[in-house]
């Protein structure tokens, strides 16, 4: 046993103990001291117990160390490198294999045989040369305790973060690098995209969007990066089921020690957008026939004329009035009259192209209009005849259709086009009803 270690033993009682609250904070730790000399084990045991307040166990050779570690939990191993039986680097390897989480402090009087770098590479956390003052040993063990405290705090924080991350009902994604590569994604985000976490990792975030939204997310992230964060509204994710999922995205940029990370939160607003769409549609649609209403007609006819002017392609306007509708109402009642108006709406929708090209409107009572995009007057006459033929097939209660047509290529204003179509309808009704006239 080293004389200097013995001398330190005489000064233990005079040394000031740690503050009680700090000593108590380490009371849960367990230290295993391994040395073939009882005196050294006893000295280290007293130093660690008195100064740090933790539990100390002892062993006298490597085999005893392994047995102790197999029987009970230990946080720190303080071990000599020269002992009978199992010792040295082989002991370190076996301990590390058995307990990867254990902190090992090596002590030796033969630093030439056990170089610091090799000792650390084999699995030790720190190294102390014999002989050593007890203050140095205390400091090194204390450092290991503090590192374990920090590790525990990090694990706690990570566990808390992971719980929030995984249990969130919003989709969450971590991005890395300048290309915004997905480093992690929670269950909610995987559900939104219909893609597993394993398949998402390593992909650029823009790859899960299509068309214009891919450009929007790229530009949005550039802007948010300059500001340190921000939001992007109403982007569309394409689900493998072909469903369109509308999302609002919040972006946070965090500068960490290892580089910048980007945290995105995806809120599913599909249902909200659908409700908004339905409300907007309800404001534009006639509740009885399902056609667009008069307010929509005023906006859309102006847009149609502007489009015709810019595209140099014609647009035609059809104005429709039911002949003898008042007589039908007076004779058969308003319920039958409503049924007839609904049937007119069905005839109009069935006689024109899709709403992306042509649009039908109920402008009031038994008055209807149809906008025919990229259609000249001859094409409009064909649509009008088809509409009259279809109307003749239903039980019309003695009513017929009078239709006025007008066409332009942007050379008229919207008001003039409407006026011309109304004038053509007036002529049609003047000819004896169930007629088609052009402006």
By the 8 A CB rule, do 262 and 180 touch?
A: yes
44/35 Cα distance (integer angstroms): 10
Residue 103 phi, psi (nearest 5) = -90, 130
List the 229-238 sheet strands across, edge first. Answer: 181-185, 171-176, 259-268, 244-256, 229-238
Burial call 126-164: b when 16+ CB within 10 Å, e when fewer: bbbebebebeebbebbbebbeebeeeeeeeeeeeeeeee
Structure tokens at 146: 């503090």
405/81 Cα distance (integer angstroms): 104
322 DSSP β-pair partners: 401
213 in active site = no
77 DSSP β-pair partners: 32, 104
Structure tokens at 321: 């009035």
Query: CA-based Rg of the chain, rounded to a whole angstrom?
Result: 42
Burial call 46-80: b when 16+ CB within 10 Å, e when fewer: bbbebbbbbbbbbbbbbbbbbebbeeeebbbbbbb
Residue 254 phi, psi (nearest 5) = -125, 130
Distance of CA 342 to the CA centre of its chain: 44
50/84 Cα distance (integer angstroms): 29
260/239 Cα distance (integer angstroms): 29
Which residue among the candidates 366, 411, 416, 422 is catalytic per the annotation? 366
3-state secondary structure 162-227: HHHHHHCCCEEEEEECCCCEEEEECHHHHHHHCCCHHHHCCCEHHHHCCHHHHHHHHHHHHHHHHH
Distance of CA 133 to the CA centre of its chain: 56
406/387 Cα distance (integer angstroms): 16
By the 8 A CB rule, do 15 and 59 touch?
A: no
| Residues that are catalytic | 366
């Amino acid at each position: 046993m080293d004389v200097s270690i013995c001398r330190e033993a005489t000064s233990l009682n005079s040394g000031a103990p740690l503050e009680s609250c700090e000593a108590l904070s380490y009371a849960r730790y367990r230290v295993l001291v391994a040395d073939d000399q009882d005196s050294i084990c006893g000295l280290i045991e007293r130093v660690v117990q008195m100064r740090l307040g933790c539990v100390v166990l002892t062993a006298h050779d490597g085999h005893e160390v392994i047995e102790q570690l197999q029987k009970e939990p230990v946080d720190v191993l303080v071990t000599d490198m020269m002992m009978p039986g199992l010792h040295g680097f082989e002991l370190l390897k076996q301990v590390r294999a058995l307990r990867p989480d254990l902190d090992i402090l090596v002590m030796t009087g033969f630093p030439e045989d056990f170089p610091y770098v090799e000792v650390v590479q084999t699995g030790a956390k720190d190294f102390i040369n014999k002989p050593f003052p007890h203050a140095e040993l205390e400091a090194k063990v204390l450092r290991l305790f503090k590192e374990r405290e920090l590790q525990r705090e990090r694990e706690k924080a990570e566990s808390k973060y992971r719980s929030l991350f995984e249990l969130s009902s919003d989709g969450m994604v971590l991005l890395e690098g300048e290309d915004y590569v997905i480093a992690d994604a929670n269950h909610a985000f995987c559900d939104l995209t219909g893609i597993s976490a394993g398949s998402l990792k390593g992909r650029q975030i823009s790859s899960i969007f299509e068309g214009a939204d891919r450009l929007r997310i790229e530009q949005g992230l550039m802007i948010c990066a300059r500001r340190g964060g921000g939001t992007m509204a109403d982007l569309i994710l394409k689900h493998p089921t072909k469903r369109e999922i509308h999302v609002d995205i919040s972006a946070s940029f965090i500068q960490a020690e290892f580089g910048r990370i980007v945290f995105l939160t995806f809120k599913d607003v599909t249902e909200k957008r659908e409700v908004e769409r339905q409300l907007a549609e309800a404001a534009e649609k006639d509740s009885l026939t399902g056609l667009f209403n008069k307010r929509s007609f005023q906006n859309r006819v102006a847009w149609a004329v502007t489009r015709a002017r810019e595209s140099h392609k014609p647009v035609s306007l059809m104005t429709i009035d039911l002949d003898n509708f008042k007589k039908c109402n007076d004779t058969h009642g308003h319920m039958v009259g409503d049924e007839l108006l609904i049937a007119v709406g069905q005839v109009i929708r069935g006689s024109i192209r899709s709403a992306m090209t042509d649009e039908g409107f109920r402008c009031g009572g038994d008055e209807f209009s149809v906008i025919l995009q990229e259609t000249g007057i001859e094409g409009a006459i064909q649509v009008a005849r088809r509409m009259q033929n279809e109307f003749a097939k239903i039980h019309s209660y003695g009513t017929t259709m009078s239709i006025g047509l007008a066409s332009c290529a942007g050379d008229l204003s919207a008001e003039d086009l409407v006026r011309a179509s109304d004038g053509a309808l007036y002529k049609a009704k003047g000819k004896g009803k169930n007629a088609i006239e052009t402006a």
